[in-house]
Structure 1
Amino acid sequence: MQTQEPIVYQGQFGEFSIDDHDRQGVILYRSGLAIAALSFAIAVGLAFSQNFAWITPLYFVFWTALGVSLFTIHIYLKPLHLALQAFWAIGGLASIGMLLLSSEPLALYVYQHPITIFGIGFTFAALTGIFFKEAFCFNRFETKFLTPIVPSLLLGHLSGILPLVWEQVLLGGWAVLFAIFAIRKLIQPIPPDIGDKSVFEYLKHKQA
């Protein structure tokens, strides 16, 4: 593989360069999002057709891909980054616990037992964190909608205030907008996803 020469940029706190390692991290981040969006869209389609069995493995593909993105995303605030990773881990552990407790397909069990959102919902809280970050940093229209859609659907189902038709509308909208977001990320230039590395260095030294 041909190695590109590092490109030097002027950051807020000094010069920084972007190398192949940085680019590979962004590619992994975006690949994780693409796989997560694809598996989520397929799972939603299966849910609409009342075919729940395959949603469980698709969820864990989604969860794993989301984890890859969360460990390669560039976020200036380290506590926020660690919090999103912790949410992802809690959601995954809760999901595994549900599989051990019930023989039902995971999606059906969660749907029939809304209280489980207090566990598996952490996975989607982590995803919402990515949507919020992308909306804040890049002003993306789809993530501006996704940021409120995800908690609205989860909390609406948890509280029982959303009728089924609205849950379906929100879930379908989530799948479509997530796919749009993932596709747009694939064609976005790489440097903006890396951010200003001089800020990372400044914050690192400030916390030391």
Structure 2
Amino acid sequence: MFSVLEATSDIYQGHFGEFTISKDDRTEVVIYRGALLIAASSFALGSILFLLLGPQPYVLSWLTSLFMCFAVAIGVSLATIHIYMSVLHRTLQIFWAIGFSVAIYIAITQASPLISSIYTQPLHLFGVGWLFVALTGVFFKEAFCFNHGETKLLTGVVPILLLGHWLNWLPLMGEKVLLGSWAVLFMIFASRKIVKPIPPDIGDKSVFEYLHNKQRSIQLETNSD
């Protein structure tokens, strides 16, 4: 298991030059994939409980704990994901931070369980929804980079379900079907990531280096002016 974390002497040819992959690079990918699997498992378990047992008090209590586990795991995945565009990366992290902060606020200030508040209050869903916008960004990035069918579907399923519920467009059965589809597709995606080779998730490090140097040059020119 730990052998996948060891750096190798392999040299990769990038768009702007050669690069190697370090142990830290590999560790970040393992953490990213593990966080996705935890998020997917928490979401799937919560979906199963809700779909099979309904909004029972003890179910809602479990759903709150599972949601928090899901949300923290998404935050960890956003901290370790490799995205070339730093502005996009930071934007997704900000979206996550807004959604997670709103969820914490609701959990502390509202008498009703967190999931019940999000489900029944459009304003609460709007606030917490930024977390799901960040997650959709992860799905979009994975679909764009790796052409995974499940992430392409998730990029559509997530906003359709959330906007459909928020605007009261979807019937209850439609929401259940989309929720179940989301859970299944998310688990497929996270499970597939675990067994994939690590280097593709690291990306072309020469591009990261080029963009980093370019940003530093712009900052130096700005400071010199």
TM-score range, shorter-chain basis?
over 0.9
Q: What are the residue-to-residue correspondences of 1:126-145 with 2, within 5 Å?
A: 126-145=134-153
2:172 corresponding residue in structure 1: 164
1:19 corresponding residue in structure 2: 22
RMSD after superposition: 1.1
Matched, 1:37 2:40: yes
Alignment deviations for residues 150-186 of structure 1 (CA, whole Å, 9 cap, x no partner): 0111111110011101000000000000000000000
Where does the alignment leave 5 or more consecutive residues of structure 1 unmatched? Answer: none
- The partner residue of 2:107 within 67, 75, 99 is 99
Alignment deviations for residues 4-33 of structure 1 (CA, whole Å, 9 cap, x no partner): 334210100000100111100000000000
Cα deviation for residue 110 of structure 1 reads 1.0
Over 6 Å off, 4+ runs: none
Q: For 1:41 and 1:116, how far apart are their aligned partners in 2?
A: 22
How many percent of aligned residue pairs carry the same amino acid? 54
2:160 corresponding residue in structure 1: 152
Other structure's SS at 1:18 match: coil
Q: Is the 8 A contact 1:7 1:19 kept in 2?
A: no
Number of matched pairs:
208
Q: Is the 8 A contact 1:6 1:19 kept in 2?
A: no
Cα deviation for residue 116 of structure 1 reads 1.3
Q: For 1:190 and 1:58, how far apart are their aligned partners in 2?
A: 28
> 1:154 is aligned with what amino acid?
L
Q: Is the 8 A contact 1:40 1:175 kept in 2?
A: yes
Matched, 1:5 2:5: no
Cα deviation for residue 102 of structure 1 reads 1.1
Cα deviation for residue 53 of structure 1 reads 1.5
Cα deviation for residue 99 of structure 1 reads 1.1
Where does the alignment leave 5 or more consecutive residues of structure 2 unmatched? Answer: 217-225
> 1:34 is aligned with what amino acid?
L
Q: Is the 8 A contact 2:7 2:21 kept in 1?
A: no
Q: For 1:175 and 1:6, how far apart are their aligned partners in 2?
A: 39
Q: Is the 8 A contact 1:6 1:20 kept in 2?
A: no
Q: For 1:59 and 1:37, how far apart are their aligned partners in 2?
A: 11
